[in-house]
Amino acid sequence: MQPVMRHLIWSVLLPAAVGSMAAAGVCLWWVPGGEKVPEPIKNTSLYKAVHHPPVPVSSPLVLPPAATSVGTPLPAGPAHEAPAVREALNLPSFAPLVHQVIPAVVNISISHASSSADDEDDDSDAASQSTSHEQRHPAPATPRKKRHSRHHGAAKAHRVLHPADDELTGAGSGFVVDASGIIVTNRHVIGQATRIMVSLSDGRSLSAHSLGDDPMTDIAVIKVDSPTPLPCVSWGDSRQVEIGDWILVAGNPFGFGSSVTAGIVSAVGRDLGSGALDDFMQLDAPINPGNSGGPAFNLQGQVVAMNAAIASPSDGSVGIGFGIPSEIVAPVVESIRKTGHVEHGWLGVTLNDASFPMWVEDVDPHGAAWQGGLRKKDAILAIGNVPVHDARTVLRSVAAAHPGTIFNFTIRREGKVITLPVALGKRPTAAF
């Protein structure tokens, strides 16, 4: 009898009991919210162990309400909701900066006598890059403006530079730097215009006249006569600008009128192969035809660059724009205001930096370098107390200096290190 009972317990009764308890646990687990479970069962330790109270979860992308003072509710409406959303998302707003600087930004339109020379393609004027940098034989002056500057060679064939002015509408941009009506823009914006019109932010259109320009840096200064002082902006120090800094660009894209775009500084010290003073600031803020001559502001509302060119396979922005740093623009503008022109230093040498140290490949017998004692095969070690390693640095320093400035060249000649004081000459007009 005992074996039979033992068999019955282990084979029938025990499995039935375990199955019942498992079924009860599953039922307790899956009853939605426990709404239909009797209260005595809800109070059991088994139910509480398998059925935890729900945890509240916030809906995604739902912002918490902005804190407000008691008794001062904000009026409802989009105008009051937008700042609260920006504050909650911690997004920057350029609106205060725009209100501060945009009155000083102007739109420029031109007209000039038709000329078949203006319609010719100037791609043949571009020169390929090389390791030999020449400042000796000046090239003929280029036409009014170069529409396309193509970088030849396998590595750079895809890069096409366009001046950021709108040739179709004759539109460009500028900015007022003095309340008396002094306006800065690109030289290629006004070109050989016979008539320059400036549209101000207050809706007025005034005739402007040129005070002068600088072909080497593509900078021009014009003036309008206004019965009242004009809003103006100040210069910032482009040397303090770092890659990644915010930038606000203003201008007249495609002749639509004043508009602004924002981005960051992508790079500094870009050499586009257009001159000895190439030192462009690369910006990713959209720049399009018509933006040439417009300002690029830092977050303090100071001009740190002037829009000049874009790199694009088409005529539109692809996020690669270039501005002339204020450290170059400001002194040129001041010189034009005082004298109507700009004088750049001239050395008269061909430097080769394919090896280190760089060396003099050729010397113009009528240039400042020859008169100062520089000769072929001299190795250039330093200018003053600053070591130099590339020709671009030397020629840029020379071009930025005034004629008559003394440069002390430390050179090595036939194994001897000597220092030569060289007085810079005046850059020939044809070299522009």
**Per-residue b/e over 240-257, b at no fewer than 16 CB within 10 Å?**
ebeeeeebbbbbbbbeee
* E-assigned strand segments in 195-245: 195-199, 205-214, 219-224
Percent of the chain with pLDDT over 70: 62
pLDDT confidence of residue 288: 81
pLDDT confidence of residue 49: 56
Q: Is 188 a catalytic residue?
A: yes
Which DSSP letter does residue 236 get?
-
pLDDT at 238 over 80: yes
- Alpha-carbon Rg for the chain in angstroms: 36
Percent of the chain with pLDDT over 90: 43
Query: CB under 8 Å to 145, separation ≥6 — which residues?
Result: 163, 165, 187, 188, 191
pLDDT at 13 over 70: no
Residue 291, classed as helix, strand or coil, is coil
How would residue 6 be classed by pLDDT, with cut points 50, 70 and 90? low
Which domains, from first to last, does the chain contain? 2-50 (no CATH), 91-113+133-342 (2.40.10.120), 345-431 (2.30.42.10)
pLDDT digits (tens, 9 = 90+) for 135-161: 543 333 333 333 333 333 333 334 555
**Catalytic choice (165, 166, 213, 218):** 218
The residue that leads in pLDDT, 255 or 69, is 255
Phi-psi region of 21 (alpha: psi -120 to 50; beta: other; left: phi over 0): alpha
pLDDT confidence of residue 375: 94
Locate 59 and state its tokens.
């809906």
pLDDT confidence of residue 1: 52
Lowest mean pLDDT of 104-113, 135-144, 158-167, 212-221, name the range.
135-144
How would residue 8 be classed by pLDDT, with cut points 50, 70 and 90? low
Nearest-angstrom CA–CA distance, 344 and 341: 10
How would residue 431 be classed by pLDDT, with cut points 50, 70 and 90? low
Q: Is 225 a catalytic residue?
A: no
pLDDT digits (tens, 9 = 90+) for 338-371: 999 999 999 999 999 888 899 999 999 999 999 9
The amino acid sitting at 398 is V
**Catalytic choice (133, 162, 188, 344):** 188
Phi-psi region of 421 (alpha: psi -120 to 50; beta: other; left: phi over 0): beta
pLDDT at 280 over 60: yes
How would residue 333 be classed by pLDDT, with cut points 50, 70 and 90? very high
**For all residues of the chain together, what is the average pLDDT?**
76
Among residues 327, 175, 330, the alpha carbon closest in space to that of 237 is found at 327
In DSSP terms, 184 is beta-bridged to 175, 221
Locate 110 and state its tokens.
């031109």
pLDDT confidence of residue 61: 40
- Largest Cα separation within the chain, whole Å, is 132
pLDDT confidence of residue 137: 37
pLDDT at 69 over 90: no
Highest mean pLDDT among 13-27, 130-144, 188-202: 188-202
Among residues 250, 99, 234, the alpha carbon closest in space to that of 176 is found at 234
**Catalytic choice (292, 317, 335, 397):** 292
pLDDT confidence of residue 157: 36
Phi-psi region of 319 (alpha: psi -120 to 50; beta: other; left: phi over 0): left
Instruction: Return the number of other C-beta atoms located less than 10 Å from residue 375's C-beta.
Output: 13
pLDDT at 225 over 90: yes
- Report yes or no: 248 and 265 within 8 Å, Cβ to Cβ: no
The residue that leads in pLDDT, 252 or 364, is 364
Locate 240 and state its tokens.
């303090």
Q: Is 137 a catalytic residue?
A: no
